[in-house]
Structure 1
Amino acid sequence: MEQRQYKTSPRFRGYLFEREVRKKLEEMGFFVFRSTGSFKVDLIAFSPKGNVYWIECKLHRDLSQKEKQRWEEIAKTYHAHFVVVNRFNLKQFLFLLKSNEGI
């Protein structure tokens, strides 16, 4: 019997990537919220040490440098770190997080 290949929308694939990132962070001991609505940040993660990370998950394209700087400034006013995570830098991001958080 032939298996069917189902196409998924870009939005749904993005949601699945967010879930993957969230799961990995929770496995590291982070408390993670999923942001809904028009807020640019997809996930808000609290580390075991109390650090706060605003995480934008992107499958393909990246934010412009101007957008990144704007969000970094906003996050800084709330004592948070703004990070853009994609399929290509996910492992590096998790490695750096483990190093910075002492996990």
Structure 2
Amino acid sequence: MGYKYKKGSNFERELKKMFENKGFAVVRSAGSHGIDLIVGKKGKIYAFECKTTSKEKFYISKEDVDKLIGFSETFGAHPYIALKMNGKILFINPHLLTTSGKNYSLDYYKICPIATDFKELIGEGKQIKFELI
């Protein structure tokens, strides 16, 4: 088992435990199937592609994102890329990403404003919205 695979599977298990601790039912899909976790609670269903990096920039293939979106549409789930970057867990709606090639570039400083944190995703945190006057 390679280091990258082990690092990724450890992150999947970490997320699985986080959701279970908040009362969600979780299914982990071991191996590379395009969907790593399916999470649900009281009618809210999420599908996650999990990625981890120690760098400030990460690339995810358009193919992986398309698989996540396609599965989620068929299953009736909300798709998210769960990205552990610099030790921080971010949840990114793949519909907000743009690409001009085969990969999406996830730059930490550009992704943070559109990403959701764990508490906000599960409905425990509040997103602060500012109104322009």
When the two structures are superposed, what TM-score results if normalisation uses the length of structure 1?
A: 0.72
| Structure (1/2) with the larger helix percentage | 1
Matching residue within 67, 82, 86 for 2:83: 86
Query: Cα gap change, 1:31/1:18 in structure 2, threshold over 3 Å: closer, same or farther?
Result: same
Aligned residue pairs: how many? 92
Asked if residue 32 in structure 1 is aligned to residue 31 in structure 2, the reply is: no
Kindly indicate whether the alpha-carbon contact (under 8 Å) linking 1:85 and 1:93 is maintained by their aligned counterparts in 2: no
Whole-Å separation in 2 of the counterparts to 1:66 and 1:11 = 19
Task: Look up the SS of the partner of 1:41 in the other structure.
Answer: coil
Higher RCO by CA contacts (8 Å cutoff, separation 6 or greater)? 1
| Structure (1/2) with the larger strand percentage | 2
Whole-Å separation in 1 of the counterparts to 2:5 and 2:122 = 29
Question: For residue 63 of structure 1, what is the amino acid of its counterpart?
Answer: I
Uncovered stretches (5+) of structure 1, i.e. residues with no partner: 1-7
Whole-Å separation in 1 of the counterparts to 2:68 and 2:76 = 12
Match of 1:3 in 2: none
When the two structures are superposed, what TM-score results if normalisation uses the length of structure 2?
A: 0.58
Uncovered stretches (5+) of structure 2, i.e. residues with no partner: 91-115, 125-133
- Identity rate, percent: 30
Whole-Å separation in 2 of the counterparts to 1:67 and 1:15 = 17
Query: Cα gap change, 1:46/1:62 in structure 2, threshold over 3 Å: closer, same or farther?
Result: farther
Q: Deviations over 1:27-46 (max 9, x none)?
A: 11111011124411111111
